[in-house]
Amino acid sequence: MLQDLTQHSLIDLSRKDDGSRDTAAFAHDVATGLSLAQKKLPSRYFYDAKGSRLFQQIMELPEYYLTRAEFEVLNTHRQAMASHFAAEGFFHLVDLGAGDALKTKLLLRELTQRSKDFDYIPIDISGDAMVQLTGSLQEEIPGLQVQAVVGEYIQALEWLHHHKTGPKVVLFLGSNIGNFEPEEGIVFLQRIRQCLDPGDKLLLGVDLRKNPDTILKAYDDAAGITAAFNLNLLHRINRELGGDFKVDQFRHFALYDPQAGAMKSYLVSEEAQEVYLKSSGERYKFEAWEAIHTENSHKFTLNQVEEMALLCGFKVDTVYQDKNEYFADIVLDAS
């Protein structure tokens, strides 16, 4: 048991020194977003404990092809990937937005079976997810060195830059890159690149362009789980910021723009109403059918990814895909 303690540790960058959660940024972002002529809320606030559970359910939906497609990519190509990553000596395997790490575990098992010398650094904004993950890894892959980090991506990258030297392989899976606007995505990949040395690698998971019907259904499922996931953001605001959103007067609405490759999600107010926020002391007016934009999930072409990589100091090494070519996991070399 003592030995396990040294193999698994968790640091929480999302808590302040006194142990309290930093809700100031959340309060600020919500107040700003609701004051805009075109209201918006950042999608990164979906993932409280309830939101993380709902996202787990989304990943099991028949319509949400992304997780199954990427699982197939990693499962089919895990041997090639493992040889690729562990060519020489010790390295840090950094997993940005690890969540339940269901897909990463395929790689972790492959690397462990080959007795590769590495430690695993899962990073996620959900503290609950990281506690659960370290627990499950302890059981499923005993002996694996795990250093979990709870925090926002940028926060975590800065921590990484200062605390971990040596060769790195960074995983950014699940098409999480798709939540950024294209320009923001480039800035973000450049930040990752700043934490790396030439020869380090980034495995980038991207959802590819495909039949718009298939994409739209993945974000507007028949069981209404994605709707509940989107609406949970309003429940979270009520709970954490003292809001009085009447959540049942809002509905989930999703649309896909096939030219931009942009899946867009909204919460639409079904009635004219006012919402009060204790955290800002302000009231926010909604007209009937006014919408709050809550998320974009971009879909990519392989050419787009290659171009993006070059702008950020990477070059495409290998493209791995599933049989349907729905999804790609791309090995990028830091140049």
The residues of the shown chain that bind ligand AVJ, judged by CB under 6 A, are 58, 66, 174-176, 178-179, 219, 226, 229, 295, 297
Of the pair 58, 208, the CB lying nearest ligand AVJ is at 58
Rg (CA), the chain: 20
d(CA 71, CA 102): 8
Q: Which residue is nearest to ligand AVJ (CB)?
A: 297
- Please answer whether residues 246 and 269 qualify as being in contact, where contact means their C-beta atoms are separated by less than 8 angstroms: no
Residues 6+ apart with CB under 8 A from 13: 149, 150, 151, 152, 155, 156, 159
Number of Cβ within a 10 Å radius of residue 8? 17
DSSP state, 208? B
Task: Indicate the residue among 91 and 266 with the shorter CB distance to ligand AVJ.
Answer: 266
Closest approach of ligand AVJ to the CB of residue 43, in Å: 7
Tell the smallest beta-carbon distance from residue 58 to ligand AVJ (Å): 5
Cβ proximity to ligand AVJ, 142 vs 224, nearer residue = 224
Nearer to ligand AVJ, 134 or 179 (CB): 179
d(C-alpha 330, C-alpha 4), whole Å: 33
Tell me how far, at minimum, the Cβ of 69 lies from ligand AVJ, in Å. 11
To ligand AVJ, the closest distance from the beta carbon of 83 in angstroms equals 27
Measure the CA–CA gap between 84 and 171, rounded to whole angstroms: 13
Q: Nearest approach, Cβ of 54 to ligand AVJ (angstroms)?
A: 9
Residue number with CB closer to ligand AVJ (95 or 110): 95
Indicate the SS3 state at residue 40. Answer: strand
